[in-house]
């Protein structure tokens, strides 16, 4: 699945959810993203056995996927083409650091 497909799938699911629960605003979407980043941090701690967390494998992929879902939802809210912008970012990094 590419980023365009991911954004489309998120848009379709969010539309169904909005019909049932109401549309989310930008603040709710960015709060969801912040929460998911926190979950990634917890998953990394568990994966690495850091800060008293018992070593727990296998959660990081799901947490990263949750964050991607939240990023797609926020991008859709602002009508941003993540695939196009991601390509620009990677090209900029390559120019800046590899040439």
Domain residue limits, the chain: 3-98
What does the DSSP assignment read for 54-71?
A: PP--S-HHHHHHHHHHHH
Q: How confident is the model at residue 76 (pLDDT cuts 50, 70, 90)?
A: very high
Q: Which CATH architecture has domain 3-98?
A: Orthogonal Bundle (1.10)
Residue at token pair 């019909």: 19
Three-state secondary structure call for residue 82: helix
Q: What is the pLDDT of residues 14-52, one digit of tens each?
A: 999 999 999 999 999 999 999 999 999 988 888 888 866
pLDDT score of 50: 83
């Amino acid at each position: 699945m590419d980023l365009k497909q991911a954004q489309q799938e998120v848009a379709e699911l969010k539309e169904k959810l909005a019909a049932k629960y109401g549309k989310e605003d930008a603040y709710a979407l960015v709060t969801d993203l912040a929460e998911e980043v926190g979950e990634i941090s917890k998953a990394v701690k568990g994966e690495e056995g850091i800060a008293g967390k018992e070593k727990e494998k296998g959660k990081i992929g799901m947490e990263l996927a949750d964050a991607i879902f939240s990023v797609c939802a926020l991008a859709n809210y602002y009508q941003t083409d993540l695939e196009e912008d991601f390509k620009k970012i990677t090209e900029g990094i390559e120019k800046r650091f590899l040439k």
